Amino acid sequence: MNERIQKIISSLGIMSRRKVESLIAEGRITVNGTVAVLGTKADVNVDYIKLDGKLLNKTKERNIPNIYIKFYKPIEVVTTLDDPEERTSLAMFFKGLHERVYPVGRLDYLSEGLLLMTNDGNFANKVLHPSQEIPKVYRVKVKGIPEEKDLDKLRHGIRLEDGKTAPADIQRLPSASTTLNTWLDVTIHEGRKRQIRRMFTRINHPVSRLKRISIGSINLGALRPGQWQHLEAYELNKFYRDYLRKR
């Protein structure tokens, strides 16, 4: 599937999209030997994408099996493979893995929970494409006790700086709540930056803890922070069957 070159490279977790655009402007990125320009498109599984002559999508040049991993990202870890600010990145958790994997999507620095890792660019692109509308469930702790009328605003969609959100499913977890905080399970089908945090700030109940517990049919399970495991065949097959083959 053809995608803009800056989207492909940023999805590999190597650098930000803004950095990619800067390198393109400097003429340092090529696709199949031709210098890329802003607007150049490529297929991560077919084309040779290079930075300063070095191949970036390395799964193309060797017969490497596709890898699919579920990972419990701890808090205070950036969802990239390196960080110019020298914060803890994903790379330290996968040092024992022989092949390079990169994150499918993002979790912000202070959020934790399920993150998919892969070396399969086609899989990553499908999962991230907005048309898939894959449900993601987050266990959220917010300050105070939101009234139902405020939660209903989120359930029906609320206007943020970047537009109105799609309807969200929100369930209270009364057994875990107190008079000072409320725990909720929140299901959304979008992937806007810091979306859930912004949603609850909008109704004056800021998030104090946020953990993603599932992406579609893939669950965090018994993983602890910093742990990961390869997806079982049945997990991957069900995920494809339920979410990636419907379009």
Q: Active-site positions?
A: 108
Three-state DSSP string of the chain: CCEEHHHHHHHCCCCCHHHHHHHHHCCCEEECCEECCCCCEECCCCCCEEECCEECCHHHCCCCCCCEEEEEECCCCECCCCCCCCCCEHHHHHCCCCCCCEEECCCCCCCEEEEEEECCHHHHHHHHCHHHCCCEEEEEEEECCCCHHHHHHHHHCCEECCEECCCCEEEECHHHCCCCEEEEEEEECCCCCCHHHHHHHHCCCCEEEEEEEEECCEECCCCCCCCEEECCHHHHHHHHHHHHCCC
